[in-house]
Amino acid sequence: MDIAIVGSTGLVGQELINILQQRRFPVTSIRLLASDRSAGKKLLVRGEPVVVQETSPQSFAGVDMAFFSAGSEVSHHFVPLAAKAGAVVIDNSATFRMEPWVPLVVPEINPDDLKGHRRIIANPNCSTIQMVMVLYPLHKVSPLKRVIVDTYQSVSGTGEAAMEELSQQTRTVLEGREATPHVYPHQIAFNLLPEIDVFFDNGYSREEWKMVQETRKIMHAQDLAISATCVRVPVYVGHSEAVHADFTQLMTVEAARDILAEAPGVKVLDDPDVSLYPHPWAAAGHDNVFVGRIRQDVSNPTGGLAMWIVADNLRKGAALNAVQIGETLIERGWV
């Protein structure tokens, strides 16, 4: 396939390049696109330097599949142009996710939603992907009634500038000086910020609202009650989530562990006696979604489970899921 990557110089773009190679995606040619700031820069693809080009309306001629990870504004402008030029677009931004005609897909969960696509496919939000990867296999056995999730999201979810800000602020604070925030509204080093994206009139942030809406769309569970609190934490890579899930029928800890042990893309790490549970430092760089601390929720002993879910937000939360969507389209002959 002739591939284009928009946002190829960014954190997700870099992971896309790596993962396409690691998974031996059938690439005939690859066009690396970014803003005018990076035009002319060279990136290595399969050991060979490839020149980054500025994204323009002409960038998509002859492209079979375009991966977008350059933010909502870029997607808003260029995704329709790429689709019109004949490319199948897999978009990492939130721009098209809730359009009823746009498939919002986690391949382990709803691959059939790709059928009949109209050349624009949305990759879900990182926090949503890792949560539904664990909830959906359980939901198939005992339908979910209600989900409460609190997230602990790493700064790489905001992009490269946020990672640099965490490093700089950490140094500054350790040297006894005052840190000045640029990317976030407050200092992120040695701190937590319960603000991810803008706040809506109902008091939820856009990130929290994405988790509500996208979970329902991916799982085909429009009536699912769900509430989220999303928090940015001073971790470089890997999002963590404390999830409380209420099921219609009793779901024992043993049953949940058995179901999740069989779930594709999920790995159970759960032995509190030896401090075995997932954590972001260990999850970074891995493809699985990790789950542990699985326990009966004492506030709902007949149908509630509490658990701790961790994944690499740049891989399964973004680039890997996008590549898996591409693979599914190819396998099923839908591209």
Ligand X SMILES: NC(=O)c1ccc[n+]([C@@H]2O[C@H](COP(=O)([O-])OP(=O)(O)OC[C@H]3O[C@@H](n4cnc5c(N)ncnc54)[C@H](OP(=O)(O)O)[C@@H]3O)[C@@H](O)[C@H]2O)c1
Q: What are the catalytic residues?
A: 126, 239
Q: How far is CA 304 from CA 59, 129, 130, 162, 255, in A?
A: 50, 21, 19, 36, 13
State the Cα–Cα distance between residues 253 and 226, nearest whole angstrom. 21
By the rule CB under 6 A, 74 interacts with ligand X: yes
State the Cα–Cα distance between residues 135 and 124, nearest whole angstrom. 15
By the rule CB under 6 A, 18 interacts with ligand X: no
By the rule CB under 6 A, 134 interacts with ligand X: no
State in angstroms the smallest separation of the CB of 105 from ligand X. 14
By the rule CB under 6 A, 89 interacts with ligand X: no
Nearer to ligand X, 232 or 294 (CB): 232
By the rule CB under 6 A, 34 interacts with ligand X: yes
By the rule CB under 6 A, 234 interacts with ligand X: no
State the Cα–Cα distance between residues 307 and 113, nearest whole angstrom. 28
Question: Is residue 6 within 8 Å of 90, Cβ to Cβ?
Answer: no
Residue 251: which of 287, 286, 294, 302 has the closest Cα?
A: 302
State the Cα–Cα distance between residues 80 and 6, nearest whole angstrom. 13
Which structure tokens are listed for 138?
């359980």
Q: Which of 1, 3, 9, 267 binds ligand X (CB under 6 A)?
A: 9
State the Cα–Cα distance between residues 89 and 247, nearest whole angstrom. 36
Q: How many CB atoms lie within 10 A of CB 295?
A: 15
Give me the residues paired with residue 228 across strands: 149
By the rule CB under 6 A, 317 interacts with ligand X: yes
By the rule CB under 6 A, 135 interacts with ligand X: no
State the Cα–Cα distance between residues 291 and 277, nearest whole angstrom. 7
Amino acid at position 287, single letter: D
Q: Which of 160, 195, 197, 287 binds ligand X (CB under 6 A)?
A: 160
State in angstroms the smallest separation of the CB of 75 from ligand X. 7
State in angstroms the smallest separation of the CB of 199 from ligand X. 17
Q: Which of 18, 21, 27, 71 binds ligand X (CB under 6 A)?
A: 71
- How many residues interact with ligand X (rule CB under 6 A)? 29
Q: Which of 17, 19, 30, 55 binds ligand X (CB under 6 A)?
A: 55
By the rule CB under 6 A, 10 interacts with ligand X: yes
Nearer to ligand X, 22 or 252 (CB): 22
By the rule CB under 6 A, 38 interacts with ligand X: yes
Residues 6 or more apart whose CB falls under 8 angstroms from that of 180 comprise none
Nearer to ligand X, 182 or 332 (CB): 182
Strand pairing class (304-311; 239-247)? antiparallel
CA-based max dimension of the chain: 61
Q: Which of 103, 111, 157, 265 binds ligand X (CB under 6 A)?
A: 157
State in angstroms the smallest separation of the CB of 108 from ligand X. 17
Q: Which of 114, 120, 318, 320 binds ligand X (CB under 6 A)?
A: 318
Report which residue's Cβ sits closest to ligand X: 10
3-class SS at 285? coil
User: Of 4-12, 24-32, 102-110, 205-213, which part binds ligand X (CB under 6 A)?
Assistant: 4-12
State the Cα–Cα distance between residues 156 and 95, nearest whole angstrom. 20
Residues that bind ligand X (CB under 6 A): 6-13, 34-35, 37-38, 55, 69-71, 74, 92-93, 126, 156-157, 159-161, 313-314, 317-318
